[in-house]
Amino acid sequence: MKRNMTAMRALSKASGIEFDRAYLSMMSEGHAEAITFLEKAQTDASNRQVRDLVVKLLPTVLGHKQLADDTLRSLQTQGHAQR
């Protein structure tokens, strides 16, 4: 929770492309944590319904992380071209 508050404060001070980069970095990190959690649940969960849900969720979360990573990479490339 404290980490989230620190991140929110940092976002509130950023604007423009710096906000976008910070936000996308947070999204990528958050999705990476969710992927780790889901992968662990996929192997460790004793409840079949939980495992089935993870199988359905994991591709979506992986896709969202990839989108955040690709967008962040694109912003970083734009930032270098503008400097």
pLDDT at residue 48 in the model: 94
pLDDT at residue 79 in the model: 64
pLDDT in tens, the chain (83 residues): 677 788 888 899 999 999 999 999 999 999 999 999 999 999 999 999 999 999 999 999 999 999 999 999 998 887 655 54
Spatial contact of 40 and 10, defined as CB atoms under 8 Å apart:
no
Q: Counting beta carbons within 10 angstroms of the beta carbon of residue 68, is it exposed (0 to 12), middle (13 to 18) or buried (19 or more)?
A: buried
CA distance 48 to 45: 7
Number of structural domains found in the chain = 1
Domain that holds residue 8: 2-82
CA distance 65 to 70: 9
pTM over 0.85: no
